[in-house]
A and B are shown apart, each in its own frame.
Chain A
Amino acid sequence: SQTIHQWPATLVQPVGSPLSLECTVEGTSNPNLYWYRQAAGRGLQLLFYSVGIGQISSEVPQNLSASRPQDRQFILSSKKLLLSDSGFYLCAWDRPVTNTGELFFGEGSRLTVL
């Protein structure tokens, strides 16, 4: 069976510090990968998506970046965090062949920037 894991689950970072969130998918090959962000009490905002190694598309130009160094690894980064980066970050995957909207989400990483 397929599983998806994110870490860390929670982190508190000062403004201006770097960020690295990691997501790993197991049990499938060549998944489509997504990063979403959810601000408190709000819906999900699509940040990045990837269809393959090294292929990243950005939805929201900002101080965040994403990388996909391996087929089932997706990393969200920032060089200098802003207060507005606080939120609940969710990684998701879906099958490349179907791509109909059946997404599988990780447990999420809650980021608080102080």
Chain B
Amino acid sequence: LAKTTQPISMDSYEGQEVNITCSHNNIATNDYITWYQQFPSQGPRFIIQGYKTKVTNEVASLFIPADRKSSTLSLPRVSLSDTAVYYCLVGGLTYNFNKFYFGSGTKLNVKP
């Protein structure tokens, strides 16, 4: 199972771009990389998922280098409402079933 490592916390200011990196050195061939956002007392919410290179949607971009041993979630022009915990999840379809283990997450604090 691929273990993930993220910074415990990050600070940013409104309007800045924020990049959160996740390390997953033992990622398997079948594994996808998924990022979640969690607000206090709520369940995590899916942000973006990728397998390799770059993926972009309406809220974020995900950069994955060729070796796939890390990934970077990029949040453009953050606002106060982006203050949350962000989790990187690595997993994929195995021959049977895959269990998903979340890391400790990165607490992003956006300041005015």
Contact = CB atoms under 8 A, between A and B. Distances in A.
A43 B92 contact: no
Interface stretch (A12-20, A63-71, A78-86, A97-105): A97-105
Contacts of B89: 101, 103
Contact of A98 (B44, B93, B100, B102): B93
Interface in A28-72: 32, 34, 36, 42-44, 46, 49, 51, 57, 59
Interface of B: 32-34, 36, 41-46, 49, 87, 89-93, 97-105
Contact of A100 (B36, B45, B49, B87): B49
Interface residues of A, number: 26
Contacts, number: 67
Contacts of A102: 34, 46, 49
A46 B100 contact: yes
Given A43-B105, A46-B101, A100 B32 contact: yes
A45 B53 CA distance: 29
Contacts of B87: 43-44
A89 B41 CA distance: 10
Contact of B90 (A34, A43, A57, A101): A101
Contacts of A90: 43-44
B41 A101 contact: no
Given A32-B97, A100-B91, A100-B93, A44 B45 contact: no
A92 interface: yes
A88 interface: yes
Given A100-B32, A101-B100, 10 more contacts: A44-B44, A46-B102, A57-B99, A100-B98, A101-B98, A102-B34, A103-B100, A104-B46, A106-B43, A108-B41
